[in-house]
Each structure stands twice: as C-alpha cells, then as structure tokens.
Structure 1
Amino acid sequence: MNISGNTVFIPGSTSGIGLALALELQARGNTVIVGGRRTDLLKEIAAEHPGIDTVTIDTADPASIASAAREVLARHPDLNVLVTMAGIMRVEDWHQPETFLGSAEAVVNTNVLGPIRLIAAFIEHLRAQPDATIMTVSSGLAFAPLKVTPSYNASKAAIHMLSESIRLQLADTTVKVVELEPPAVRTSLLPGQENSEFAVPLDEFVAEVVGLLEAQPEAKEIQVERVKFLRYGEARGDYDQVVETLNAADPHGK
C-alpha cells in the first residue's frame, strides 16, 4: 500500500486506532473518509479536522453498509483504499450460556460479518481502480487467546484466515489485501484499557504502523514489534508460555 495519494474509507474510526490512523493518513497526503455510528462524534471530527469527510455507518447493519457505500462512492469516485476497522470486544463467562450468547453473537456480527459485508459492498469498485487496497484488522489475539474474550479471539482468527484466503483469490486483480495485527493498544476497546501499562500507547502504535506501511509497501501483514510475541509463539515453539504470560500480565486475564 502506498502511504500517500489515496482516497481512504475507514468505517469504525470515530475514536481509538481508527481515528488516530485516519488523522495520520490525512497528514501524509491522503483523502480520508471517517465512518461511524454516532453523528455527534462525526460532526466533531469534521469540525476539528478540516478536509476529513464523514459518513454515518453501522457495520452491524447490512442496510446501513449498503447506504454508506453508495454515499461514499458518489462523493469519492476515486476511492481506492478500504480499512475494515470497526470492531467490538466483550468480556464473556462461558460457564452459563445466558451470560455470553448475546455478546458472542454481537461480536461475530460486528467483527466478522461486518468486514465481509463491507468488502462485498466495495469490491467491484475497488477492482476497477488501477491500484487498490483492502486493509483488514485482526489482532495479536488471533494467534494467542486472552481467556476472558473467547468470541473476540475467534473473530480475529477468522479475519486472519479470511485475509489470507481473499488475498489468494484477488491475486489476479489490482486489489492488494493487507492485514493489520494490533497488540493491546491504549484505547477504550475494553474498560480500563486506555490506562493499561500492558498496552502500547496509541500514538506510538500508529506511528509504527505508518512507518511500516511506508517502509514495506508490499507487506501482507503489518506487525508492530509488540505483537510479534503473540503472533509467532507457535512458530517459536513457546506457545504455551505465551498464553500463560498473556493471561497473567493482562489485567483482564485473571
């Protein structure tokens, strides 16, 4: 993925990693469209950051995705980058189904079906561009589980394999598939995570991501240093130790 000169749509970017990445990409000379559910936040972003466009979208709602896609493409017919950022993370206790089933269904709907529907809504347009990118967003937890977030872990593992698979299918097109694999980052994804010493500071994470995109424009996976501990535990042969360390160190892993 080229680091500048793109038109980028990032659904799920009214806060956290999504917003920080949107602002950094705009600073690097890209046209950026921020998508989210909360119109009040979208208005604030548009007012505080001139040049950023905003679109209301709920990636858990197929009709909302279809409507937003029409709006984005009407205003930005040169769109060539889609970042499937939107996601949720829920703590679950799987001892009793009444305590986790609704949460698990919501996580899968947002984190797995959301990206699938987004890609379906934009793929024909992206294929028509001379150079296009789909950036999926998995997690270090796709490769080593945090025990209190089973559905989230599974959803991100699904995104990893989805990315691997569609990259193969789209190899005969102009569309590249890049997988962003964050570690824990200081955002509000879980309560208290924004202050966690275990998590990477947001600015530090996004700066490293953009640096990797610039240095490795042909990269298939974007991995900051802190995620490699989780990503390669099985390959190194210390997977059990990685899982033990992850669940001992993270405040939500008790």
Structure 2
Amino acid sequence: MDITKNSTILITGATSGIGLAFAERLLAAGSTVIVCGRRQALLDEIKARHPQIITRRADVASARERVALRDWAVSEYPQLNVVINNAGIQRHVGADFAVDEPWEDTWSEIEINVGGVVHLSKLFLPHLRTVERPAIVNVTSGLSFVPRADVAVYCASKAAVHSFSVSLRHLESTRPRPDGAAAVRVIEVVPPAVNTDLGGPGLHDFGEPLDAYADSVIADLAAGKDTSYYGFSGKLASLPSSGEEWDKAFTMLNSLGK
C-alpha cells in the first residue's frame, strides 16, 4: 500500500532535518502535508518556500498541546490518514551519568521521544480507524538495537518506541474490525546516523547524506514496507540481542570519537 501519494500526512518535528526532508518529498509525491514544530519562525520559513505545506505550531512535549493538535487536525483535515511521529531530541550525557542536572531536563528527552509517540498514537488511532489507507509511522534509530552510552537516555527511549511499534502493529493487525475496515498500519523507520543537527550542530557530520537517506525512506514507504532500514541501521537491527557479534558492535560504537 503506497501511502506517499494522495494522502493527508501529519509530521511532528518537521521544521528541519529528517522530518522536513520527508515533508518535501511527500509533498512532491502528491500528498497534503502538515508539518508541526515548536519554532514558529522555522514554520514561517517553510511556508514561504513551500506555500502548499500546512504548518502548525505544536510542542509535543506537552500532553495538553498533543490533545489540541489532534483536535485541530481531525477537525480541519478529516481526511488525515497518516501520522508520522518524528519529533525527538538527543542529549549527550557524557561519561558520567551522575552529573547533577535538573530532572526536568532528563525527563524532557523521555517525554518527547516516548511520551509524545505513545500519546499521539493513542489520540489519533480512533480517527485513523475511520479512514482509508491509515498508517502510523514511528521514527526510531539504529541505536534502538545497540546503544551508545554517551546518549544513554536517547537510546533507551528509541528502544522503547521500537518495542511499542512492534506491539502496536500486532494489536492493530489482529484487532476485530467491521467488514471492510482497514487495519491501521504501523510502520517503523530506523535511521542510521544522518548528517543533521540532531543533538547539536556538527555532531553528525559523519552521518549518511540527508537527501539520499530521505529518498530511500520514501521509496520504502511507497513500496509498502513495514520497516525501513538504511545502511548501518539494518546491520545493527539484524544482530542477535547478545553474544560476540553484539559485543563487538557495542564496543565499536562506544569507541567512536575517542
């Protein structure tokens, strides 16, 4: 099922990086695209470059704003059939996890990366079950499978979203449905390191080129794949969950930059 064409698609965290690259390609494919982000100035810039894109300021770290986003989206765009949970942050904890910081700073990474995905999925599911070609797309990470210790909370949060996506896919595919009703597809997008500003400018300059990566994901979505890997993320996902191969990958990832 090709959800890239003639769909109405909402993308969180889409003012830059992977989210914006997806938005531009989905718009070019012929879909109606709604991009969400916290910074109005960036949304205004996107609207100036792409007048057809619909913009909405929303902070998915806030449960109240998540509810407001759902209410607005299904009211204004009842044909909405795809939600892409892309918003996420990556915070470097460094070599000492015990370094004192306000708990709110740590919690914000969990709330955005996990809470936002789970809550928005729950909020949008009742609507998505009423439309054609419905899908939830969750963006995780190759680090869901083998973590880097200096971004420990990020890795744990993405592993949680991977697990949640697997469970939600099973629940939706096996849920009793009225005759003719489509199951909501749950798709997982698993990026490797990509050359974006995730975590801060310059931290991922070594990553895969953004354009090539985004093209690959859109091709996977058009082909109807339930999981989209790219390069190293596929290798990490294919490893056994323990043993010599996993240990070697963990050691390699955690020696980068040292």
Q: Which moved more, 1:110-119 or 1:185-194?
A: 185-194
Q: Does 1:229 align with 2:235?
A: yes
User: Whole-Å Cα distance in 2 between the matches of residues 112 and 179 of structure 1?
Assistant: 14
Counterpart pick for 1:239 among 235, 243, 246: 246
Q: Which moved more, 1:235-244 or 1:119-128?
A: 235-244
Moved over 6 A (4+): none
Aligned pairs (5 A) from 1:166-205: 166-171=168-173, 172=175, 174-193=183-202, 196-197=205-206, 199-205=207-213
Q: Which residue of 2 is the match for residue 123 of structure 1?
A: 125
CA contact (8 A) 2:83 2:135 kept: yes
Q: Which residue of 1 is the match for residue 179 of structure 2?
A: none
Specify the code of the residue in structure 2 equivalent to 1:166: L
- Is the partner of 1:55 in helix, strand or coil? strand
* RMSD, aligned CA: 1.8
Aligned pairs (5 A) from 1:98-137: 98-99=100-101, 101-137=103-139
Q: Does 1:140 align with 2:149?
A: no
TM-score (norm 2): 0.90
Deviation at 1:63, TM superposition (A): 1.0
Structure 1's 129 and 158: CA in aligned 2 closer, same or farther, altered over 3 A?
Answer: same
Q: Does 1:84 align with 2:85?
A: yes
Deviation at 1:210, TM superposition (A): 1.3
User: Whole-Å Cα distance in 2 between the matches of residues 84 and 128 of structure 1?
Assistant: 19
Q: Which residue of 1 is the match for residue 17 of structure 2?
A: 16
Structure 1's 237 and 152: CA in aligned 2 closer, same or farther, altered over 3 A?
Answer: same
Deviation at 1:51, TM superposition (A): 0.8
CA contact (8 A) 2:137 2:186 kept: yes
Deviation at 1:211, TM superposition (A): 1.7
Deviation at 1:128, TM superposition (A): 0.7
Q: Which residue of 2 is the match for residue 70 of structure 1?
A: 71
User: Whole-Å Cα distance in 2 between the matches of residues 146 and 100 of structure 1?
Assistant: 22
Specify the code of the residue in structure 2 equivalent to 1:223: Y
1:185-244 per-residue CA deviation (whole Å, 9 max, x = no partner) reads 1111122446622x10111110111122223x1x22111123122212226951111111
Aligned pairs (5 A) from 1:27-46: 27-46=28-47
Q: Does 1:207 align with 2:215?
A: yes
Q: Which runs of 5+ in 1 are unaligned?
A: none
- Identity of paired residues, percent? 35
- Is the partner of 2:80 in helix, strand or coil? coil
CA contact (8 A) 2:142 2:190 kept: yes
Q: Which residue of 2 is the match for residue 149 of structure 1?
A: 151
Specify the code of the residue in structure 2 equivalent to 1:201: P
User: Whole-Å Cα distance in 1 between the matches of residues 203 and 212 of structure 2?
Assistant: 13
CA contact (8 A) 2:145 2:237 kept: yes
Structure 1's 68 and 104: CA in aligned 2 closer, same or farther, altered over 3 A?
Answer: same
User: Whole-Å Cα distance in 1 between the matches of residues 244 and 58 of structure 2?
Assistant: 42
CA contact (8 A) 2:196 2:205 kept: no
Aligned length: 248
User: Whole-Å Cα distance in 1 between the matches of residues 145 and 202 of structure 2?
Assistant: 20
Q: Which runs of 5+ in 2 are unaligned?
A: 176-181
- Is the partner of 1:34 in helix, strand or coil? strand
Deviation at 1:246, TM superposition (A): 1.5
CA contact (8 A) 1:8 1:33 kept: yes
